[in-house]
């Protein structure tokens, strides 16, 4: 990024912003489809309401938690295990894996029950 300037930098930032927003919209759509497939028709409104409520709560809490993690990582620059920014990326990977596992959990439950 430091080597880019002018219109090339603007183009790169616009492309990155477009991709981020496209992935965000796609992700939310996929999560809604997964959730609607995971719950029965009579519980769908409650599940959607709970989902939106929790999403809003976590969007409120996330910046403060990220700030705490980043400041903790800056104090750990010389730590022997996961020093500095390594800690931040490790925690991001842990949260990503947990989210990925929880995304497929409804399918695990569905395969365990038989509807004969």
Mean pLDDT for back-to-back runs of 10 residues, the chain (116 residues): 76 92 88 81 88 91 91 87 86 88 67 50
pLDDT of 94: 92
pLDDT of 16: 92
Cα atoms found within 13 Å of the Cα of residue 111, Cβ hemisphere only? 5
In whole angstroms, what is the distance from residue 88 CA to residue 75 CA? 12
Evaluate whether residue 70 is within a structural domain: yes
Q: How many domains does the chain have?
A: 1
Evaluate whether residue 7 is within a structural domain: no
Q: Which of 22, 55, 50 is nearest to 38 (CA)?
A: 50
Q: Which of 52, 26, 50, 48 is nearest to 37 (CA)?
A: 48
Q: Which residues are CB-contacts of 16 (< 8 A; sequence separation ≥ 6)?
A: none
Evaluate whether residue 110 is within a structural domain: no
pLDDT of 110: 57
In whole angstroms, what is the distance from residue 86 CA to residue 78 CA? 11
């Amino acid at each position: 990024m430091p080597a880019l300037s002018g219109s090339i930098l603007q183009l790169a930032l616009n492309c990155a912003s477009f991709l981020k927003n496209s992935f965000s919209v796609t992700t939310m759509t996929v999560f809604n489809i997964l959730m609607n497939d995971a719950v029965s028709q009579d519980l769908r409104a409650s599940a959607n309401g709970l989902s939106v409520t929790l999403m809003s709560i976590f969007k409120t809490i996330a910046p403060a938690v990220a700030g705490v993690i980043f400041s903790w990582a800056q104090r750990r620059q010389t730590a022997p295990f996961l020093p500095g920014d390594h800690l931040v990326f490790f925690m991001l990977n842990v949260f990503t894996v947990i989210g990925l596992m929880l995304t497929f959990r409804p399918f695990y439950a569905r395969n365990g029950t038989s509807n004969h």
